[in-house]
Amino acid sequence: MESSLGDLIISRLSEVYSIKKDEFAPLNFKDPFLIIVSIILSQNTTDKNALKAMENLVYNGLEKPEDFLKAGREKIKDMIRVAGLYDQKAEAIIRLAKWSVQKYGGDLSLLKNEDPDQVFNELTSIKGIGPKTADVFLVFYLRARTFPIDTHIRRVVKRLGIADGSYDKMKKRLLEIFPDPMKAHILLIKHGRTTCRAKNPNCEKCVLNDVCRYHLTLKTEKKA
């Protein structure tokens, strides 16, 4: 029953939304270090701004952890300014680069040999990398079975009435519902950005309004 609901949601959203690489920064990179950097840069800004910052970094020859350490914090800050919060993000990237070199010799492809839970714990031990950032990396690079939850996803699934509570509780619940976490993650974000917005959600044109607790509540209130 739960997986069938997940299949229904993803089927309907897939008919409405296409997945564009410029809307999801980590889809644009294969190197694991650059994937994590792109995820850090996308925090609290648009993926397009994160990609502009990534273009600046790559154009200036910063692709490997060692390149970032050699460039230093101040140069990195200038290159990623377009992504906002550049002080904090530069610090997080430097810490990530140091960890990458010290633990894996700068080769994060070695993470494919690690247990995903161990990778999650290691990444979240780095200041500036939280559970969502770590989970996004696990899904996009390691194809691990986890479910990153951002503000859009939290809003959408709460309105649908399928998940609520803490990050971990919500993640566990969504993994029960959706067979393909990566696809569900992307489509739910797109739905939250375009239709199930924080303000003025377009419920009447929503392809999920017949299975949405929020919409059904609104209809009941209008009748009353």
Residue 132 bears catalytic tag: yes
> Sign of the CA dihedral 14, 15, 16, 19?
positive
How far from the centroid of its chain's Cα atoms is residue 19's Cα?
A: 14
Helix or strand or coil: residue 3? Answer: helix
Q: Active-site residue among 31, 67, 150, 180?
A: 150
Q: Among 132, 135, 171, 190, which one carries the catalytic annotation?
A: 132
Nearest to 40 by CA among 118, 123, 157, 116: 123
Asked whether 41 and 50 are in contact (CB, 8 A), the reply is yes
Dihedral sign from CA coordinates of 66, 71, 72, 73:
negative
Q: Give the helix/strand (H/E) hosting 118.
A: helix 116-124
Which run of H or E residues covers position 183? helix 181-194
Contacts of 84 by beta carbon, 8 Å cutoff, 6+ apart: 44, 45, 49
168 is an active site residue: no
- Give the catalytic positions in this structure: 132, 150
